[in-house]
Amino acid sequence: MENWITSNAKNEDLVLSSRIRLARNLDKTSFPHKLEIDKRKELIKLVENAFYTFSQKDDEFKTIYLWEKENIFNETFLERHLISKKLLDNESSAAFIVDKNETVSIMINEEDHIRIQSITAGFNLDEALDLSNKIDNLLEEKLDYAFDERLGYLTACPTNIGTGLRASVMIHLPAIGLSNKMNGVVNAITQVGMTVRGLFGEGSKTIGNIYQISNQITLGLSEEEILTNLKVVVNQIIHEENLLKEDIIKRYKYEIEDRIYRALGILKAAILLSSDECLKLLSDVRMGVEMGIIKDVDKVVLNKLLVETQNATIQQAVNKELSNKEKEFNRAKLVRERITEKVS
């Protein structure tokens, strides 16, 4: 699978990534929040043993133990969408197995014992589901999952019971944002059992017009139905976004060009750049690329910047903690360098 940050998926311009997450728990074992630390660490061993018995080479997969001292910037994993906020909260006894390409992540001791996640570039939910299912099947050969014939997979939170599946797409909707129509979209989505989150998942701000749209319901639907529903909703939203873009260009050509070129000009010029402003400006530039107004900026550069300009990644790059102003300075410097970079 293609890493969403570094690959240029051509199939759908607005969708940055597609993600599948499966929640799994071991039978006859308390959920993580009820386990002692040593029991949790045993559980990590158990999952590792199950996973590494298969033909995966060591240099293809590795386990990252969040409590280890060298991992001072665990938040960078969250910023690369490899782990959840919840796993980070449990860092004293949580770990995840990740592939070299960073498209698969098996979180251990999140809210559930195991969270299998696969994330790929573009609008490719089926591909992501295939991979998650393969890993799920591998693990199931060695592990005894908590499963109820009637309910399906049992999970710590009742909202995940059933398939334990969350399918989500990360999508850029600048025209909907500009037209103040996102509230309407959120209401419509919620009514069909979907939910909208910000760039960094649950509880994160919806800044820079990037949204994660995912299924809310996992019970009573097959995996296929969940994916189909999500695809229909996302395609409708893409249609709406494209109509609005055409309308904006027709009615506000100069205003929108002004906004887009100013954003690019500021990103090329700024000496200090806050994270929020950076995301907003990147969104304007991305809109310019989507509209064909900006031709010399590659979307892969914009994807990379989404991650690289985040607070933890900025600090990890220099391997030390930075003051707010230092972060803003380093962020602006990085953006100035990257934004003129050509990637094909």
- Please report, as ranges, the residues that interact with its own copies according to CB under 8 A: 254-255, 257-258, 261-262, 264-266, 268-272, 325, 328-329, 332
170 assigned ligand-binding residue: yes
* 198 assigned binding-site residue: yes
Is 18 labelled as part of a ligand binding site? yes
Q: How many CA within 13 A on the CB side of residue 205?
A: 7
Residue nearer to its own copies on the CB measure, 146 or 272:
272
Q: Is 20 annotated as contributing to ligand binding?
A: yes
Rounded to a whole number, what is the distance in angstroms from the first to the last CA of the chain? Answer: 18
Least distance to its own copies, CB of residue 276, Å: 15
CB of 194 to its own copies, least distance (A): 37
C-alpha distances in Å from residue 29, one per residue of 37, 137, 155, 207: 14, 20, 12, 39
Q: Which is nearer to its own copies, 255 or 341 (CB)?
A: 255
Nearer CB in complex with its own copies: 295/325: 325
Residue with tokens 């992540």: 105
In sign, the C-alpha dihedral spanning 254, 257, 261, 266 is positive
Angle at CA of residue 252, ends 251 and 257, nearest 5°: 145
Q: Is 17 annotated as a binding residue?
A: yes
Give the nearest distance from C-beta 268 to its own copies in angstroms: 6
CB of 314 to its own copies, least distance (A): 15
In the complex with its own copies, which residue's Cβ is closer, 24 or 280?
Answer: 280
Are 34 and 26 a contacting pair, CB within 8 Å?
A: no
Rounded (10°) angle between helices 299-308 and 324-339: 170
Known binding residues are 17-21, 81, 115, 166-170, 197-202
Known binding residues for ATP are 17-21, 81, 115, 166-170, 197-202
